[in-house]
Structure 1
Amino acid sequence: MVELSDGVPTDIHGDPDNPTSEGYFCIKGKASLDLLRSPDRLTTPLMRTGPRGSGEFEPVSWDAALDRIGSELAATIGRHGPESVALAQGTDRNYQEWVFRLANAIGTPNVVGPAHVCFYPRVMASIMTYGAFTFCDYDGDPEVVLLWGSNKPSTHSDGVIGIKLLRAVERGSRVITVDPRRTQTAARSSLHLAIQPGTDCALALGMIKIVVDEGWYDHDFVAAHTSGFDELVAHVKAYDIERVARITGLAPGLIHEATRSYALAARACIEAGTGLSQNENSFDTHRAIALLAAICGNIDAPGGDVIWEPMPIEGRRAFPRSDLLPEEQAKKRIGGDKHKILSMSGWVAPGDLHEAIVTGSPYPITSMLVFGSNMLASHENTELVRQAMSKLDLVVVCDLFMTPTARYADVVLPTSSWLERDQIVEFNSYIAARRKIATVQGCRSDEEIILQLAERLGLSEHFFPSLEAALDAKLAGIELTWEQFTKIGYIRNEKRYHKYREGGFRTRSGRVNLMNNGLRSMGYEPFPVFRRPPETDPALPYLMTSAHPRQFYNTEFHQLPTTSRGQTTARVTVHPDTADREGLTDGEEVDLFTRAGARGVRMTVKISDSVAPNVVMADAGWWYPGASSVDDSLRSSVNLLTDNDRSDVHMGSATMRGVAVGIRRLGPGRG
């Protein structure tokens, strides 16, 4: 709810009548007026005048900026083919389908983003298992919620606000949390499994073995609706509880108790978060969890993991117009031969793209359009990202602020915040009308920019004469215009349970694929397999995991007073035993490093027993907006420590959690 005075926003708060949020409003939402009024907002297009990264630009008109972009893109497409253009975006801002539509209309298969370490390992694991994506049915009063790699009350993922989980707990749901860190949620859970970072796949396979051995699986569901159960039973024999306990660092009794509580619950769901998607076992971890949920009969059941049925609008599935991308162009997707499951979803892994740009193989990539992504802070292997951006002929960045990534651009286009644009917001539980209620002079929405670029590239036939016409087209399936929808504002996507009883699952067999022969035909294992990390170097005795502080959204909001006032530096949380061993004091600055003598990542020490003695928890997504150089701005970015050496074979997911590090003191510690 935004309060206006003479048409000017003056206050913002949660809507108690909204069935999704129930009035809950997090600090990032409260900072929206800061976002609108920030003196640091970009308000005019800029063209680079100095070296890449120098931050030296001159203001130009919108027409001049768009004409240059259109001209240079047309030239490189004519010279090197449409695949020489790459598009990039950050976390979805409900214009993801627009970015893909532009890419498909251009004819490039190369779209990069955070998909490989965020949402898509879970999406693709679900699709390869059930033929569809699932989400937790908190309104169905689950008896047990297995919160796995997710701090739901703080992160509010997938369009399902964490308040739904808390309300379920108030009604009697019990929570089992799997997380290396004792978060507030973990501390209030019935059980907390403080797992070693990156070992979740072994835990899931071990839990499946316990369920099978104890006979706790849903015999009727398994017999009627799954395939490959006997083969699964044989596969998980290797994951006995003692072995899994050694791998995960968990007590065997705790593993058994957690498995029993979940498997024997009448209604149970699994909230699997991005903590599981950021290591070399990413896809197989999510698929193992999908198999666990299936054999326990919790798929598409009340209080379980419900299959998403999209509403009949032209949204995330239809609007990208994948039919516009010729098959011969789709086959050119960078990394498509290596990370085949990610490629099936239409994405390119950043590591594959940046390597291709630097090497020029398998073909030249000369230009990149970046929509709402601070790639230098958010993508793994910062140095490779920097090399790639330095080599490109044309870099265009559309953003609200001058980020380190924008400093590397040839053209910077100032975009609008969510209060300044008309959008249809689509999630699994609802669609909503986001109405423009404010204007920052000089800024345009990403959708408007895409429409104007399409016109300059001669692609208007695949787009719309105006943004409102596009919104009308998206809503045609529910027989509403944008103007009519704004008066309704919100339409709930009503759930239906046990949909598979009508015609089976949306797999080729109509059953849940416990064993997936499609994976085998692509050269992968038909069952999930845990890949052990290499032996650690004694000089790197700690496992680094990471998460962004709750007041920030990935790399965003660092320059806003409401969100930044409580914390001005990146922190690393260490156990008191670690502090004693290293001679550290609370508030001391240290460097984390992955190679002796190499550049470290600057962190401020926070001593807490919320992590194990061999685990350190670093703040992720950190950069300093006021820094004078890109190097100084990124001095606390954990991605200076990540690389592409250990990536998931299916998705290209980088190992961003479970990284072996050492700690280097910068000054005198305790005497």
Structure 2
Amino acid sequence: MTRELNVLGACPLDCPDTCSWVVTVKDGEAVGLRGNRDQPYTRGALCVKVNRYLEHTKAADRILHPMRRVGPKGSGRFERISWDEALDEIATRLTAIVDEFGGEAIWPYQGTGTLGYIQGESGLAGRRLWNALGASRHDLNICSRAGNLGLARTNGTPGGMDPETFALSKLILLWGTNTLTSGHHLWKFIQEARANGAHVVAIDPIRTRTADQADEHLAIRPGTDAALALALMHVVLDEGAEDRDYLEHHTKGWEDFEREIRKYPPKVAAEITGIPEKDIRALGVRLAHTRPTGIRATMGVQRHQGGGTAMRTIACIPGVTGDWKYPGGGVAYSTSAYVPLRVDPRRELLPRPVRTLTMTRLAEGLADTEKPVKCLWVYAANPMGSTSDQNRIREGLLREDLFTVVMEQFPTDTVDYADIVLPATMQFEHMDLHHGYGHMYLMWNEPAVAPAGECASTTETFRRLARRLGLTEPSLYDSDLQIAEELLSADHPALAGITVEGLRERGWARLGYPDPFVPFTDGFPTPSRRLRFVPEGKGYVPPATARADGPYKLAMITPASHVFLNTVFGNNPELARRAGAPKVLVNEKDAADRGLTHGQRVRVFNDNGGMTAEVEITDRVAPGVVATPKGSWPKLSPGGTNVNALVEERDADMGRGAVYHDNLVEIGPLP
């Protein structure tokens, strides 16, 4: 008899929505996938990308067995080997590296391919093994670090609004976020607010599909967001609409910050941001007199030289207007800080102090000859496709003395440089616990089917390797359920009543915060219990692209693709067809100045490298700004590179954040 089951799970990908889904299984095979209609945030809908996840798990190019390199590095030529052969070779090589160079010569390079607390980035899967070996610490800073630190300097935490409370907002600023592409489940709450009279403004260098649906779009120059924030607050002061009671009782440093605001009247900000003075003033007046105002600012805002400062300054706005008092008021960036899952440090095997290697500085780290990296272990990451300074990373990965292990599902560009490739499970095939950094829920992922081929989960791979290395610490062998139980054992009100058993039965649970949730009603998590305003002279850090006095005149940004998620799905035939050839969006004026025609194949270049793209002449970008979406695989792209060949390995002002939206380029005909 045919037996059909519905198995509850969760999307693992790097998106704020972390959808709850239902996998339909017949006779041990996954045959259907849909969003969970019972989960309040997902409400039955998945995105255009994840709608093809079931097909993706069965793709012909999926890696199903361990492999050893047989061709030159970068050639992608491998032979199939057994798990025993792979583990023996890895154990021998790691032991030799530790004996000769010390554990710090190992760099465990983890990415955000899965955000799970058991298998992925949120729980830093594998950390116990790396600590046992004394490996270098991996600073996973590539995505949101500058913004997190900027918000924390103002509010004491990156946490802010519960995104569901946008349904209660009367003015919504979508600041540097393309909601309909990167987290579309928020839109239903925005629509609910609009039905009750809310006004929606998109602040973005590109007129995105979200900007098309907003009531208003302000085409800001990349990296000038803090100047606009200061100017909007300047208008609030001009209107006499600052919340004096809130300023007196809930903030610190107001007099100093008020002087900073006064330096940025709308006329000055218009020159910096490229937004007409009248539009800045009009929005400032609306902000001054509309309560509550909710600001949704996501990771795109902070991927430039002044990214941390930009988020810090934007976070000051509800301190001036008093919006933090209201449901639907404040700033929403990430809800991760509200998830109090417990990791027992005694079980993490914390070693002696070791060096930290920074994710955004991979090229620099691989080029270090004084303390060389001898083993690069890549998992849930595709640095050849997703990390800055692509050409220098390639140089590092070509080192013959570098032993590279990659745990992967598909033959990415990074896999081509591996010495050993280990086949990784996909989300239907393993157990995990998730939260959404754009909502207030925990999600459970129950394995629905057996692993394909010889694939193994992250945790199982590290358990096997620990055994092969002869390590005896018991915590290295904890089961996935044991890890989940430990994570939920924290004595925190947000976890009250949430159990593994309950999650496995229902698939999700709302964290134990009030609904609606108004943060900071009992004070900010700062030493003074007050919001800390930006000091005078530190409210705006110009982007590097503000200095276009060299040979490169165009400020380039790298927005998210609507059909890829970072480089996930870059090899999916249907989604790749929808994406089409790599494109560069160019304003008509810039195209005319360079003699470019619509559809022309060109080279986009700077001192870091170049990529081949088709010109799309459009008014979606302003003069002086070009955009080319991220997510394509270099080896599947014309010219063998993608946009990250143009991105400099350079730090933002806080947390060494990446600067994907802060590079100058030029465009010319193909040689």
TM range (shorter): 0.7 to 0.9
Q: Which runs of 5+ in 2 are unaligned?
A: 1-21
**TM-score, normalised via structure 1 length:** 0.86
Q: Please say if 1:487 is aligned against 2:505.
A: yes
- Indicate which of 93, 99, 105 corresponds to 2:125: 99
Rounded to whole Å, the distance in 2 between the matches of 1:263 and 1:55 is: 58
Assess if the C-alpha contact under 8 Å between 1:47 and 1:411 holds in 2: yes
Instruction: Summarize the Cα distance change of 1:515–1:611 in structure 2 as closer, same or farther, 3 Å threshold.
Output: closer
Q: Which residue of 2 aligns with 1:10?
A: 31
Q: Which residue of 1 aligns with 2:553?
A: 541
Q: Which residue of 1 aligns with 2:14?
A: none
Instruction: Summarize the Cα distance change of 1:106–1:380 in structure 2 as closer, same or farther, 3 Å threshold.
Output: same
- The AA in structure 2 aligned to 1:408 is Y
Q: Please say if 1:333 is aligned against 2:356.
A: yes
Rounded to whole Å, the distance in 2 between the matches of 1:369 and 1:59 is: 19
Q: State the shift of 1:306 in Å.
A: 7.2
Instruction: Summarize the Cα distance change of 1:78–1:481 in structure 2 as closer, same or farther, 3 Å threshold.
Output: farther
Instruction: Summarize the Cα distance change of 1:263–1:588 in structure 2 as closer, same or farther, 3 Å threshold.
Output: same
Assess if the C-alpha contact under 8 Å between 1:43 and 1:441 holds in 2: yes
- Indicate which of 68, 76, 84 corresponds to 1:63: 84
Q: Please say if 1:436 is aligned against 2:447.
A: yes
Instruction: Summarize the Cα distance change of 1:238–1:620 in structure 2 as closer, same or farther, 3 Å threshold.
Output: same
Q: Which residue of 2 aligns with 1:371?
A: 379
- Indicate which of 70, 84, 98 corresponds to 1:49: 70
418-427 or 655-664: which moved more?
Answer: 655-664
Assess if the C-alpha contact under 8 Å between 2:296 and 2:331 holds in 1: no
- The AA in structure 2 aligned to 1:137 is P
Q: Please say if 1:176 is aligned against 2:201.
A: yes
Rounded to whole Å, the distance in 2 between the matches of 1:459 and 1:129 is: 45
1:230-379 matches, cutoff 5 A: 230-299=255-324, 301-305=326-330, 308=335, 314=341, 318=343, 324-326=349-351, 328-329=353-354, 332-334=355-357, 348-351=358-361, 353-361=362-370, 363-379=371-387
Rounded to whole Å, the distance in 2 between the matches of 1:437 and 1:492 is: 23
Q: State the shift of 1:258 in Å.
A: 1.8
Assess if the C-alpha contact under 8 Å between 1:155 and 1:162 holds in 2: no
1:640-651 matches, cutoff 5 A: 640-645=645-650, 647-651=651-655
Instruction: Summarize the Cα distance change of 1:306–1:211 in structure 2 as closer, same or farther, 3 Å threshold.
Output: closer
Q: Which runs of 5+ in 1 are unaligned?
A: 335-347, 517-524
Q: Which residue of 2 aligns with 1:144?
A: 171
- The AA in structure 2 aligned to 1:488 is R
**TM-score, normalised via structure 2 length:** 0.86
- The AA in structure 2 aligned to 1:48 is R
- Indicate which of 615, 618, 634 corresponds to 2:640: 634
Q: State the shift of 1:382 in Å.
A: 0.9
475-484 or 566-575: which moved more?
Answer: 475-484
Assess if the C-alpha contact under 8 Å between 1:27 and 1:562 holds in 2: no
| Number of residue-to-residue matches in the alignment | 627
Assess if the C-alpha contact under 8 Å between 2:313 and 2:534 holds in 1: no
Q: Which residue of 2 aligns with 1:461?
A: 474
Instruction: Summarize the Cα distance change of 1:238–1:14 in structure 2 as closer, same or farther, 3 Å threshold.
Output: same
Q: Aligned-pair RMSD on alpha carbons?
A: 2.8
Q: State the shift of 1:45 in Å.
A: 0.8
Rounded to whole Å, the distance in 2 between the matches of 1:298 and 1:86 is: 44
Instruction: Summarize the Cα distance change of 1:263–1:86 in structure 2 as closer, same or farther, 3 Å threshold.
Output: farther
Rounded to whole Å, the distance in 1 between the matches of 2:591 and 2:614 is: 12
531-540 or 141-150: which moved more?
Answer: 531-540
Assess if the C-alpha contact under 8 Å between 2:251 and 2:532 holds in 1: yes
- The AA in structure 1 aligned to 2:100 is R
- Indicate which of 604, 612, 615 corresponds to 1:602: 612
Q: Which residue of 1 aligns with 2:8?
A: none
1:106-126 Cα offsets, whole Å, 9 max, x none, are 44453144x33x222222222
Q: Please say if 1:509 is aligned against 2:514.
A: no
Rounded to whole Å, the distance in 1 between the matches of 2:25 and 2:635 is: 30
Assess if the C-alpha contact under 8 Å between 2:182 and 2:562 holds in 1: yes
Q: Which residue of 2 aligns with 1:402?
A: 411
Q: State the shift of 1:168 in Å.
A: 3.3
Rounded to whole Å, the distance in 1 between the matches of 2:619 and 2:213 is: 16
187-196 or 170-179: which moved more?
Answer: 170-179
Rounded to whole Å, the distance in 1 between the matches of 2:182 and 2:624 is: 26
Q: Which residue of 1 aligns with 2:4?
A: none
Assess if the C-alpha contact under 8 Å between 2:385 and 2:567 holds in 1: yes
Please state whether the residue corresponding to 1:573 is helix, strand or coil: strand
Instruction: Summarize the Cα distance change of 1:611–1:452 in structure 2 as closer, same or farther, 3 Å threshold.
Output: same
Q: Please say if 1:222 is aligned against 2:247.
A: yes
Rounded to whole Å, the distance in 1 between the matches of 2:275 and 2:64 is: 52
Q: State the shift of 1:53 in Å.
A: 0.6
Q: Which residue of 2 aligns with 1:557?
A: 569
Q: Which residue of 2 aligns with 1:122?
A: 147
